[in-house]
Structure 1
Amino acid sequence: MVFLFDKSKNTLTVSNAWKLLSSQRGEGFVDTAIKILISVVIGALVLSGLYALFGETVLPTLKERIVDMFNYGK
């Protein structure tokens, strides 16, 4: 027999256990898998965008600034 604690009445009841075990609420495996898949795809898109931004825009400019900063021959 399973007993659960009823917070409203401060008692243990078997009917609360039966209601909890027979309820159809909750999150399914398919829902969780879809959420994980969507987050992975969005994360990959964000990372590829950042990689493209830093690879073509930020890093060449940064390299030129560093070379100009340490080029004492000019």
Structure 2
Amino acid sequence: MFRKIQNKLNKAAVAVQCALADRKAEGFVDTGVKILIGVVIGTLLFNFLYVLFAGNIYPTANNRIYRLFNYSGT
């Protein structure tokens, strides 16, 4: 009876030791790749919005605001 309990405890201890010794870095690499992809996509999106606003939206809005406040009434 005590032998069975001792064997089960030894098997559990060996399983825990094997699980702790088997530390792979796959989780860290996956997380790093996800962060890198997010940074790259964010940078591309930011550059796209900057080009869009600087090239089209800002000059048009600036021109309309200038005409609005420079209204002569004629």
> Normalised by the shorter chain, which TM-score bucket?
0.5 to 0.7
Which of these two proteins has the greater Rg computed from alpha carbons?
2
Q: CA RMSD in A?
A: 2.7
* Cα displacement (A) at 1:58: 0.1
> Which residue of structure 2 lines up, in the alignment, with residue 62 of structure 1?
61
Greater strand percent: which structure? 1
Following TM superposition, where does structure 1 have runs of at least 4 consecutive aligned residues deviating by more than 2 angstroms? 21-24
> Which residue of structure 1 lines up, in the alignment, with residue 46 of structure 2?
47
Greater helix percent: which structure? 2
* Cα displacement (A) at 1:39: 0.3
Of residues 46-55 and 64-73 in structure 1, the stretch that sits farther from structure 2 once superposed is 64-73
Superposed CA offset, 1:27-64 (max 9, x none): 61100000000000000000000000000000000000
* Cα displacement (A) at 1:72: 3.0
Structure 1: segments with no counterpart, 5+ residues: 1-14
> Which residue of structure 2 lines up, in the alignment, with residue 22 of structure 1?
19
* Cα displacement (A) at 1:22: 2.3
TM-score by length of 2: 0.63
